[in-house]
Structure 1
Amino acid sequence: MRLLSPRSGPALLAAIFLLFLPAFAGRSARAETVDTDPLNRQPEVQEAFRHFYNLDYDGAIARFERIQREHPDDPLATAYLLDATLFRELNRLDLLDTTFYANDGFLTGKHTVVEDPKVRDRIKALSDQAVNQANAQLKTNPNDVNALFARGWARSLEAAYMAMVERAFGSGLHLALGARSDHMKVLQLDPRYEDAKLVVGVYQYVVGALPFAFKLLIGFAGIHGSKTEGMALLEDAAAHGVITQVEAKTTMMLFLRREAKYPAAVALAHSLAEEYPRDFLFCLEEANLEKDAGDGLKAITTYRKVIGQAQRPGYFDNAHKELAYFGLGDSLRGQRMYMDAVEAYRSAAAEPSTSPELKRRCLLEAGKTYDLMMDHPRAVQQYEAVLNAGSDTVQGDQAKKYIHTAYTGR
């Protein structure tokens, strides 16, 4: 009996990758009607997160370092710094590019990552420090909800690094399940601790989304979930969370995308882009979702708007224009605007921040577009450029194939 269908991959991935959503972190303080660590409501913390969700990672890290110095024994202060350090590295490694996960698959794709040992050690050291600080507090009071939340958060962040960068899925899953257990206990002790609903909600949804045969198997181990209950928990976190409000919305957006409920996903993306207009990733994701929803003309307009904003000095921090150019190329090709699509792909390949892998993807797509124009000689030039940029790669293998047999769109 085949327990894992091709559609089960994204659900299994989410247990690690989406447990603490990396793609688009942001925070916003909510009313004083929910329980949370008092540190979350401090103006200096909110100011640091304002830099963070505008993708000014260096500015956020400098502020979190100061907060940590002022709270040397607080695991939450350490987790803040871990959060910003992790996402700065994920951005550097081009791992916040959602087209990689959509096109190549997280589990099956061969995304090239060159790990920085110093940053890796820093991330693991900060995670260990936060966990140890939380453990010290829990020895005094095993029911300290703030310590439990901080420990679970630190575990989930390290799990994200292990899954996305090191692709150590087993170890990452172990940490992720520990994070879920911590936050479930938080909710058992204090149902008003809305931030803990993010991790628990993701767990519920992911297990509920697994194929029936697999759910039956893990059910014998006492593991159960519900998509409906998971979504309800995420909606609560999105409405009332203090430091997980935006993560909950973003997680909901990706789950809606998985279910092809594009209008709802686009609406969430648009609201986030309006709330944080200087966050390049939120603005980009609105266009990505419009494209995936099949609204190519609207996506083209949004991509061009994002590119125009990115060309304005100082408008975005850490903008990767190549991602917008690549999405624009896909959208233009979908509308059979082939020459414009080639121009977009080549613009993406020429950006100084374009990774070697994305450059090969751009050149390959430009070649495929020339083939759709029945211009195989010019397509071959692009395929040869792919080989020159890396013949022993996924893109290189495809380029070799299309050199001999023109791409037909099938």
Structure 2
Amino acid sequence: MSSKAPYLRRFLLFALFLLPLQSMSLRADTVDTDPLNRTPEVREAFARFYLLDYDGAVARFENIRAAHPGDPLATAYVLHARLFRELYRLDLLDTTFYANDGFLTGKHTVVEDPKVRDEIKALSDQSVNEANALLKNNSNNIDALFARGWARSLDAVYLAMVERNFGPALRMALGARSDHDKVLQLDPRYDDAKMVVGIYQYVIGALPFGFKLLVGFAGITGSKTKGMELLQDAANHAVLTSVEARTAMMLFLRREAKYPQAQQMARDLSTQYPHDFLFLLEDANLEKDAGQGLKAIGSYQAILLDAKKPGFFYNPHLELAYFGLGDTLRGQNMYGDAAKAFLAGSQQPTTSPELKRRCLLAAGQTYDLMHDHTEARVEYQAVLANGANTVQGDQAKKFLKTPYSNH
């Protein structure tokens, strides 16, 4: 690739892998899909998944996998649930984390669990190998092609989001897109495959003209319009990837500042899954980004109140809501309340090290806006104590010397 390849890699990976909240929407028998997707056991497992009961989902998918030895999709179910459990543990399922390219270009310290990493890699390899065994007997086995592409895409998610290993992630992603392209060539009604292909089409179509011309020489073409059409088809009809497709569309619409459309999708999801903490959080995040500050404050506060109701949320990561609330309060110049929200976010038992640094840094900046540099320095020092060689650490060092200003 040319010297422009890093830009293409960052942009493509941002869109392909930094978008998921959940996946799986079991639809009526109007499209083609692997029959396993429609079984009661799979429905029950995903019902736990939607509650963010990842342990319960993993256990149920393991039972399905045991009952279907050699089935690459059954193995990919387990991979999917374990991957999302780890992403949630690391606070990587809040899309505000990916609202700018700093995620891709900055220094990040994610506390990777080697055991989980090895489990995810082993599951991905197993699913791919199981699919290859089926494809050896029939190269046009659509279900095996889809399962292999899905496993590859999940492997790429881990590589990109946790390890920030973008080169291998991109190669894995392109393999996933190739598999799903072939699925759609063989069966245009296999709408689950339209999600990955639609994202690919949109991203290539959204590249600046110079980069689009560059990749065009390599035979890589795309269309934003075609990409959105494919994503809409997946959102409307797919059995396995409907919700991921809607999440991708929300991310693209947010980056294009088309907030009303993105908000409607978020509200539809939160209505469909009223006890899914992440969907409610996404609705509040979009209100914040749309400039509806007071409305967003109310939404974040409602989430925090709901979390106090026994059994309303299964496993809420309240630090995500506190961070969004603090950010919105600060935008409304409500600095005292904003600092309290940021500090509350830093103190939750589920807060990941990276989000803790973000909360502490934001609290310090807020104290500086209140002209209390003494208290701000306390928070900046706390950032350094939790990771000096990070994006937040670099900023904290800067603000220790010169108070933060938003002007």
TM-score when normalising by structure 1: 0.94
Question: What corresponds to 1:293 in structure 2?
Answer: 290
Question: What corresponds to 2:266 in structure 1?
Answer: 269
Alignment of structure 1 residues 76-225 onto 2, 5 Å: 76-102=73-99, 105-225=102-222
How big is the shift at 1:30? 1.3
Query: Mean Cα displacement is larger for which, 138-147 or 393-402?
Result: 393-402
Equivalent AA in structure 2 for residue 309 of structure 1: D
Equivalent AA in structure 2 for residue 230 of structure 1: G
Alignment of structure 1 residues 6-405 onto 2, 5 Å: 11-14=11-14, 16-18=16-18, 21=19, 23-102=20-99, 105-405=102-402
Q: Which runs of 5+ in 2 are unaligned?
A: none
Instruction: Give a deviation string over 1:151-173, Cα, whole Å, max 9, x none.
Output: 11111111111111222212111
Q: 1:64 to 1:159 in 2, by over 3 A?
A: same
Asked if the contact 2:381/2:396 (under 8 Å) is kept, the reply is: yes
Query: Mean Cα displacement is larger for which, 225-234 or 375-384?
Result: 375-384
Aligned to 1:354, what secondary structure does the other structure show?
Answer: coil
In 2, the alpha carbon distance for the partners of 1:350 and 1:240 equals 41
In 1, the alpha carbon distance for the partners of 2:34 and 2:145 equals 11
Aligned to 1:33, what secondary structure does the other structure show?
Answer: coil
Q: 1:241 to 1:377 in 2, by over 3 A?
A: same
In 2, the alpha carbon distance for the partners of 1:124 and 1:150 equals 15
Query: Mean Cα displacement is larger for which, 320-329 or 132-141?
Result: 132-141
Asked if the contact 1:16/1:172 (under 8 Å) is kept, the reply is: no
In 1, the alpha carbon distance for the partners of 2:378 and 2:113 equals 34
Query: Mean Cα displacement is larger for which, 225-234 or 268-277?
Result: 268-277
How big is the shift at 1:352? 1.6
Q: 1:312 to 1:165 in 2, by over 3 A?
A: same
Instruction: Give a deviation string over 1:128-147, Cα, whole Å, max 9, x none.
Output: 11111111111221111111
In 1, the alpha carbon distance for the partners of 2:353 and 2:192 equals 38
Instruction: Give a deviation string over 1:172-215, Cα, whole Å, max 9, x none.
Output: 11111111111111111111111111111011001111111111
Asked if the contact 2:111/2:353 (under 8 Å) is kept, the reply is: no
In 2, the alpha carbon distance for the partners of 1:130 and 1:5 equals 29
Structure 1 runs, 4 residues or longer, greater than 4 Å off: 1-6
In 1, the alpha carbon distance for the partners of 2:3 and 2:134 equals 45
In 2, the alpha carbon distance for the partners of 1:176 and 1:41 equals 26
In 1, the alpha carbon distance for the partners of 2:6 and 2:35 equals 45
| Aligned residue pairs, count | 406
How big is the shift at 1:39? 0.7
Asked if the contact 2:89/2:352 (under 8 Å) is kept, the reply is: no
In 1, the alpha carbon distance for the partners of 2:344 and 2:168 equals 39
In 2, the alpha carbon distance for the partners of 1:305 and 1:326 equals 14
In 2, the alpha carbon distance for the partners of 1:394 and 1:188 equals 44
Asked if the contact 2:365/2:376 (under 8 Å) is kept, the reply is: yes
In 2, the alpha carbon distance for the partners of 1:114 and 1:403 equals 26
Aligned to 2:32, what secondary structure does the other structure show?
Answer: coil
Asked if the contact 2:14/2:104 (under 8 Å) is kept, the reply is: no
Query: Mean Cα displacement is larger for which, 167-176 or 59-68?
Result: 167-176
Aligned to 2:386, what secondary structure does the other structure show?
Answer: helix
Aligned to 1:318, what secondary structure does the other structure show?
Answer: coil
Asked if the contact 2:108/2:390 (under 8 Å) is kept, the reply is: no
In 1, the alpha carbon distance for the partners of 2:269 and 2:154 equals 22
In 2, the alpha carbon distance for the partners of 1:219 and 1:328 equals 43
Instruction: Give a deviation string over 1:48-96, Cα, whole Å, max 9, x none.
Output: 1111122110100111011111110211111111110111111112222
TM-score when normalising by structure 2: 0.95
In 2, the alpha carbon distance for the partners of 1:33 and 1:201 equals 20
In 2, the alpha carbon distance for the partners of 1:174 and 1:310 equals 40
Asked if the contact 1:280/1:316 (under 8 Å) is kept, the reply is: yes
The answer to which structure, 1 or 2, has the higher relative contact order (CA under 8 A, 6+ apart) is: 2
Q: Which runs of 5+ in 1 are unaligned?
A: none
In 2, the alpha carbon distance for the partners of 1:2 and 1:262 equals 34
